[in-house]
Amino acid sequence: MEKFSIIIPTYNQLPLLKRALESVLHQQGADYEVIVTDDSDNEEISTYTQSIDNQIIKYFHHKSTGRAADNWNFGLSKADGQYVIVMHHDEAMASSNHLNMMAQALTDADVAIADVEVMNSGKQSSRWLSHLTKKFFCKHPEWLFLQNAIGPTACIAFKRDQQQPFNQDLKWLVDIEWYYRLLKGKRVSICNTCKVQSTHGHAGQISQQMNIMQAFKQDKAIICQTHGNHVGLMLWFYEHLILGTKRLLRRI
């Protein structure tokens, strides 16, 4: 059994996929498999992964359903490792020791969380949230519906026996709702020395192709029905404080 299963769902973004994949293949002293699940409408990624000729990489074509989370769940179904990371094609591991640090963080935890560096138009920025804030949000994951204190999915590594599927009916809050279920009642370790680089602003970014307010309202109805009023309160604050402010500033 491989120690880590690194799942990379991808769609029509070969340059980003190359960067993500290279960051994994540069990992030192770690046992892992890479699962590429591709629902592209061309064969560029399939051809590229075959050209590498590396048995660590396992390529699977997934017929697109129009819902990104279906491809993410398809990748989860292929994982064999003790630990799992879902890393989208616009994310990358910043260090060649990333997997070793995450494995150490998982020694006495069910879930380990790395820090994130955001790359936007070639500029790099770190998240402002403190270690204590992130620790509080992870202990009380309903607060994540007010503010994503984690970052992208690649920041999370978890033991496979704790695995949760993504809710494929969600669009805007699919990762946050997944974090909520993955973290609730779990032992969590935060590894701030371990960083994930997340590229924003590229043409294929899902959020740039979405009516955010419409998607949020649809997701809110599903989440409130599933998880109850304590989560609904956080979503109310998020809608009126966060999204409301962004609308006033014309950022959405």
Q: What H or E segment, with its residue span, contains residue 86?
A: strand 83-86
CA neighbor of 148 nearest in space, from 118, 105, 169, 120: 118
**Any idea which residue has 């990371």 for tokens?**
85
CA neighbor of 179 nearest in space, from 143, 127, 128: 143
For the residues of 182-225, what is the DSSP string, one character each?
Answer: HHTT--EEEEEEEEEEEEES-TT-GGGGS-HHHHHHHHHHHHHH
pLDDT of residue 126: 54
- Residues 182 and 161: beta-carbon distance below 8 Å: no
Q: Band of the pLDDT at 252, cuts 50, 70, 90? A: low
Q: Band of the pLDDT at 203, cuts 50, 70, 90? A: low
Alpha-carbon distance of 121 to 230, in angstroms, equals: 37
Per the prediction, the chain carries an average pLDDT of 90
Interval 189-210 mean pLDDT: 77
Position 9 pLDDT exceeds 70: yes
pLDDT of residue 202: 56
Q: Band of the pLDDT at 206, cuts 50, 70, 90? A: low
Indicate the pairing of strand 32-38 with strand 57-61. parallel
Query: 210-233: b or e for each residue (b if 16 or more CB lie within 10 Å)?
Result: eebeebbebbbeebeeebeeebbe
pLDDT of residue 246: 78
pLDDT of residue 133: 87
Share of the chain above pLDDT 70, in %: 91
Domain at 4-208: CATH code: 3.90.550.10
Structural domain boundaries in the chain: 4-208
Interval 97-105 mean pLDDT: 96
pLDDT of residue 208: 58
pLDDT of residue 215: 93
Q: Band of the pLDDT at 36, cuts 50, 70, 90? A: very high
pLDDT digits (tens, 9 = 90+) for 117-153: 987 765 555 555 677 888 999 999 999 999 999 999 9
How is residue 120 written in tokens? 């936007």
pLDDT digits (tens, 9 = 90+) for 57-91: 999 999 888 888 999 999 999 999 999 999 999 99
CA 69 to chain centre: 11
CB atoms near residue 55 (< 10 Å) = 7
CA neighbor of 226 nearest in space, from 186, 185, 173: 173
